[in-house]
Amino acid sequence: MSERDRAAEPRPVTLTIAVLTYRRPDDLAELLPLLVDQATSAAAYRVDVMIVDNDPEAGAAAFVRDGAGRGPVRYVHEPRPGIAAARNRALDEASDAELLVFIDDDERPGPDWLADLLRVREREGCAAVVGPVVSRYAVEPDPWIAAGEFFRRRRLPTGTDVDVAATNNLLLDLGRVRAHGLRFDERFGLIGGEDTLFTRALVAAGERLVWCDEAVVTDVVPPARLTRSWVLRRAFSSGNAAALVEAELHPGWSGLRRRARRVGDGLVRAAGGGARAVLGTVLASPAHQAKGCRTAARGAGMISGAAGYRYGEYRRT
């Protein structure tokens, strides 16, 4: 092939898959080979996998160095605590990439996951593509938890525009992200909600966030999360973070009105959920009882967040 022919060849699009991790070597051992397989088979793309280790002791360094992640894998250590700091480090380290895909270390992608994300991005020309997360239990859960559908997440038709997304299965066009100067708010790093702020800001800037229902990742739920106390704390945390994000997006007098409305919404949820839980007890219905408790916990979280309380779900001891 001549130099002219080589120059005329289309340049591959550069893409980084970022895996944020914190002391989960077994999960990494399962996830990395799956990502490497997809990275090396993405035609017209040059893909690498970046491990962002948020462990102050750099626990994943030896794992990557010793070859458990063979292939186009690189390691980055981000000792500052908090998911937002780790996500910002991924943005910084992907400075040469055109696209960035986030996936969590406790997830497993479907066989065509990356190709599906890229297909929708190419078709829609959008700034971001988000896919669904489906939970798989590591052990049989308490029937109360299963009936409460605590781990059920949304599913939408492919091509649907959405206004908010989590970052556990998200493709970003970094050119658009950089053009708007977007970063993850590190004040939310130990609370949660930094992904809500980020994606809502992206949409508010006029960009499109598009759903791809085929790009499924499976979330492996460990036994420690399959307790009633854990799922109710998560529901409380979700409500708390939602109220705090709302206050951040709407400061000043309009924000005060929204906070008051959020308190009202929280009170309705707490009261209605509590009533449903009582009804479930009377009727011996685990579904009514569990879903009522979930709604009440989220409502209590909304009230606390509107009042300014910041629940540190991801705080470290």
233-242 pLDDT, tens per residue? 999 999 999 9
pTM of the model: 0.91
pLDDT tens track for 134-144: 999 999 999 99
The answer to whether residues 170 and 154 touch, using CB atoms and an 8 Å cutoff, is no
10 Å CB burial of residue 39 (0-12, 13-18, 19+) is: buried
* Local confidence band at 71 (pLDDT 50, 70, 90 cut-offs): confident
The position carrying tokens 């708390």 is: 240
Nearest to 232 by CA among 135, 153, 285, 299: 299
Q: For 178-189, what is each residue's pLDDT tens digit?
A: 999 999 999 998
Question: What are the CA-CA distances from residue 104 to residues 52, 109, 113, 219 (Å)?
Answer: 11, 10, 14, 8
Would you state the pLDDT for residue 76? 96
Phi, psi of 229, rounded to the nearest 5 degrees: -65, -40
**Residue 69 has what pLDDT?**
52
pLDDT at 111 over 60: yes
Gap between the Cα atoms of 36 and 49, Å rounded: 7
- What tens digit of pLDDT does each residue of 1-35 get? 455 555 456 789 999 999 999 999 999 999 999 99
Q: In whole angstroms, give the CA distance from residue 107 to residue 103.
A: 7
> Using 50, 70 and 90 to split pLDDT, how confident is the model at 249?
confident
Split at pLDDT 50, 70, 90, the class of 68 is: low
| Cα–Cα dist 176/311, whole Å | 32
As a whole-number percent, the residues of the chain with pLDDT over 70 amount to: 95
State the average pLDDT over residues 257-264: 85
| 207: CB partners within 8 A, 6+ apart | 126, 127, 128, 176, 180
pLDDT > 90 in the chain, percent: 79
